[in-house]
């Protein structure tokens, strides 16, 4: 999809049944080209914009997840939109859209894990001296 410089966005949409018991929608996406930072991508279920988070980052794509439990067992349009951008072309490649009964849980930040590990190591050394 390519949202352009002009006041227009590019969208792709399909209407279908969101399976009963669905908690999350997962999809792989990658901003195409040399976009840094990437342009805005919007996800809509029905007429509502749904926030999504990065769940896993791979070299060629990022796996995103969104909580769509409110629409489980409903027939709704699912729409991805590469929003209009006044400064650059907003290109997105989207693949592997899937529904899951698992809740979205983003992976922990590496800096947070390092800090927690350092605190635990420091606490262990401190209690070992006593």
User: Following DSSP, what letter does each residue of 102-116 receive, concatenated?
Assistant: SPP-PPPPHHHHHHH
Tens-digit pLDDT profile for residues 80-122: 988 776 666 677 888 889 998 876 655 555 655 676 777 777 7
CATH number 2.60.120 given to 2-105: yes
pTM: 0.69
Spatial CB neighbours of 51, under 8 Å, sequence gap ≥ 6:
43, 66
Domain boundaries, given as residue ranges, for the chain: 2-105
């Amino acid at each position: 999809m390519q949202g352009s410089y002009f006041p227009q966005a590019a969208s792709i949409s399909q209407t279908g049944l969101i399976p009963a018991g669905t908690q999350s929608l997962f999809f792989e996406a990658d901003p195409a080209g040399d976009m840094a930072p990437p342009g805005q991508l919007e996800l809509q279920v029905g007429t509502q914009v749904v926030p999504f988070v990065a769940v896993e980052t791979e070299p060629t794509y990022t796996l995103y997840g969104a909580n769509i439990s409110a629409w489980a067992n409903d027939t709704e349009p699912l729409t991805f939109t590469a929003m209009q951008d006044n400064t650059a072309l907003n290109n997105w490649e989207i693949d592997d859209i899937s529904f899951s009964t698992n809740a979205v849980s983003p992976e922990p930040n590496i800096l947070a894990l390092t800090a927690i590990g350092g605190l635990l190591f420091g606490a262990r050394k401190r209690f070992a001296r006593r």
